């Protein structure tokens, strides 16, 4: 089956000052599918999402969104591309000068011509889907970490973008909300036929939602395939990671 | 060798800094000329950055006018030229001290506030979130603050000029027995509308310096709360230095012939 690729990382090298984060890293994000990225803490998973969103440019290699190479795009083209992509940040990153509702409404206010009433309705829907409709008028500083995270999630889905990047959407949430969020990700994909990339440490929800799984280790993708393929991978690194065992080739 | 290296490094740092400052200025100007301005936000920044600086500007300029008057009035009376004191105070206030001191006070209050706010937005990834939503930080955050300071600083300067002259007149009257009327008429003789306007031109330039340096420092913050502290200090120190330099150049250009 020839899958259409929505985003492609092609042979990326990236270092921050002296620290090499990605080395010969290549990854295809299949259109209409949910791709989950797993890997050790600090491996560079969040960095991959930043690359796809054009927030960070690689030292060498290419990042393609469709046919557009972000490494050779103008600032204006980068901003244009970003509007079709949403990033739900690991630590929410809500603007603390606005209420939660206004935060979620912000992309709609800035990029659409919808009326205030329509915007309020869409925002309410989004907040409801993460169980936060009562926090519309609260300031971000009045919310708990998990609630902030869900508000950030609501902000990411409100524009119904082609590609949504979720950075650990369920880390630190209780099991019920985790289930709710996982469900929302799956439903959104089905409803919009959109593409998603999810970083997660939660194997249960990965098995539930992923079409493809990619494992990042020491700067490169060392395993890629469907959930079954990756679970059955003979690679001892993958096996050790999925088992969550201290014994194996991964240095601790 | 070490000295050469150091000088080279410092020069590069300076060039990078001014380059960054000018590119932020250019980017912001681009949005302003295309009228991509958030008016509501601009007005609330005018209040936040301008109106709330009024009391501290009034206080500092009042005492400045009073001290110039105190220093000059007694001497002037001794030499029998008490009728010139009003002119001296007004001259110094309107052309130099009013714009300068207002700008310095605003740099300490507003420049620091801008740097701290944007800096903490950098370290909490809020700036990255804006870019990720396709919103340019220069348009979204810098332009409203820049416009607010550029509009409010001249207004504050007018208040500062007036209060400084009034404070001067009061001290001249109570210590050197120079009549209020003669003080004011001397002031009016010494300075004209063009002096006031030139002072306001200075205020506009100083406003740009305060807002842009604050914003640039804030946006280039690296590394947590300590980084925010550094940016804030940097914003105040650098904008004050630039204000002093710009003041000299502007005095030379504007008042050079008079
Ligand atoms: N702006 C930056 N400046 C310097 N180093 C950075 C920067 N961003 C990330 N790094 C480094 O890059 C590495 C990868 O970071 P990244 O946030 O992508 O990890 P991660 O896989 O998302 O980890 P986690 O699972 O803990 O979120 C880390 O070692 C981090 O220290
Ligand atoms: Mg991360």
Q: Give the tokens for residue B79.
A: 């030499």
Whether the CB-CB separation of B198 and B255 falls below 8 Å is answered with: yes
Q: What are the residue boundaries of the structural domains of chain B, listed by start?
A: 38-255
Residue A168 near residue A89, CB atoms below 8 Å = no
Q: Do A91 and B124 touch (CB under 8 A)?
A: yes
> Residue B126 is nearest to which of A85, A93, A107, comparing CB atoms?
A93
Please name the helix (run of DSSP H) or strand (run of DSSP E) that holds residue B115, with its range, or none. helix B112-123
Q: Report residue B106 as tokens.
A: 């605003």
The per-residue pLDDT for range B138-161, each reduced to its tens digit, is: 999 999 999 999 999 999 999 999
Residue A59, C-beta contacts closer than 8 angstroms, at least 6 positions apart? A13, A14, A15
Instruction: Label residues B152-161 b or e (16+ Cβ within 10 Å = b).
Output: bbbbbbbebb
So what's the ipTM on this one? Answer: 0.91
Residue A138 pLDDT exceeds 80: yes
pLDDT tens sequence across A32-66: 999 999 999 999 999 999 999 999 999 999 999 98
Q: What secondary structure letter does DSSP report for A4? A: P
What band does A194 get if pLDDT is binned at 50, 70 and 90?
A: confident
Q: Scanning every residue of chain A, which has its alpha carbon at the shortest distance from the alpha carbon of B139?
A: A110
Gap from CA of A42 to ligand 1 centroid (Å): 5
CATH number given to A1-84+200-247: 3.40.50.300
Q: Shortest Cα distance from B220 to chain A (angstroms)?
A: 15
The stretch B107-130 carries a mean pLDDT of: 96
Hey, is the C-beta of A148 within 8 angstroms of any chain B C-beta?
no
A19-30 vs A212-217, strand pairing mode = unpaired
Quote the pLDDT of residue B170. 95
Give the pLDDT band (50/70/90) at residue B8: confident
Q: Distance of CA A18 to CAs A21, B109, B135, Å?
A: 9, 37, 31
- pTM of the prediction? 0.91
Spans of all domains in chain A: 1-84+200-247
* Neighboring chain B residues of A94 at a CB cutoff of 8 Å: 126, 129
Indicate if ligand 1 lies below 6 Å from the C-beta of A219: no
């Amino acid at each position: 089956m020839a899958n259409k690729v929505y985003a492609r990382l092609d042979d990326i090298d990236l270092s921050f000052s002296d620290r090499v984060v990605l080395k010969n890293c290549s990854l295809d994000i299949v259109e209409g599918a949910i791709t989950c990225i797993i890997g050790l803490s600090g491996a560079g998973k969040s960095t991959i999402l930043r690359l796809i969103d054009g927030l960070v440019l690689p030292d060498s290699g290419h990042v393609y969104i469709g046919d557009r190479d972000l490494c050779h795009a103008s600032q204006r083209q980068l901003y244009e591309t970003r509007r079709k992509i949403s990033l739900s940040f690991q630590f929410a990153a809500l603007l603390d000068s606005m209420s939660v509702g206004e935060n979620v409404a912000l992309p709609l206010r800035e990029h659409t011509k919808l009326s205030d009433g329509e915007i309020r309705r869409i925002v309410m829907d989004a907040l409801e889907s993460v169980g936060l409709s009562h926090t519309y008028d609260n300031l971000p500083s009045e919310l708990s970490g998990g609630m902030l995270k869900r508000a950030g999630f609501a902000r990411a889905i409100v524009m119904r973008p082609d590609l949504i990047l979720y950075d650990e959407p369920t880390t630190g949430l209780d099991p019920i909300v985790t289930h709710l969020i996982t469900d929302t990700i799956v439903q959104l994909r089905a409803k919009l036929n959109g593409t998603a990339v999810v970083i997660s440490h939660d194997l249960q929800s990965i098995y539930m939602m992923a079409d493809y799984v990619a494992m990042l280790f020491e700067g490169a993708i060392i395993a890629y395939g469907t959930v079954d393929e990756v679970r059955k991978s003979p690679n001892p690194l993958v096996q050790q990671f999925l088992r969550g065992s201290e014994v194996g080739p991964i240095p601790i | 060798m070490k000295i050469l290296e150091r000088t080279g490094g410092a020069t590069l740092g300076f060039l990078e800094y001014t380059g960054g400052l000018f590119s932020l200025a250019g980017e912001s100007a681009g949005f302003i000329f295309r009228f991509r301005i958030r008016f509501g936000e601009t007005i609330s920044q005018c209040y936040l950055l301008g109106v709330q600086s009024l009391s501290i500007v009034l206080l500092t300029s009042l005492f400045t006018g009073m001290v110039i008057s105190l220093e000059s009035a007694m001497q002037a009376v001794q030499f029998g030229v008490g009728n010139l004191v009003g002119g001296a105070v007004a001259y110094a206030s309107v052309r130099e001290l009013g714009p300068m001191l207002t700008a310095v006070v605003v740099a300490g209050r507003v420049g620091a506030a801008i740097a701290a706010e944007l800096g903490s937005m950098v370290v909490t990834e809020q700036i990255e979130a804006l870019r990720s939503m396709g919103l340019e930080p220069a348009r979204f955050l810098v332009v409203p603050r820049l416009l607010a300071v550029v509009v409010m600083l001249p207004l504050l300067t007018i208040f500062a000029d007036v209060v400084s002259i009034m404070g001067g007149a009061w001290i001249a009257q109570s210590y050197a027995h120079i009549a209020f009327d003669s003080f004011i008429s001397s002031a009016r003789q010494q300075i004209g509308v063009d002096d006031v306007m030139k002072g306001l031109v200075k205020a506009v330039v100083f406003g740009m310096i305060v807002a842009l340096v604050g914003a640039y420092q804030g946006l280039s913050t690296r590394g947590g709360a300590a980084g925010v502290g550094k940016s804030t200090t940097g914003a105040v120190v650098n904008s004050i230095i630039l204000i002093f330099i710009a003041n000299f150049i502007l005095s030379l250009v504007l008042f050079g012939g008079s």
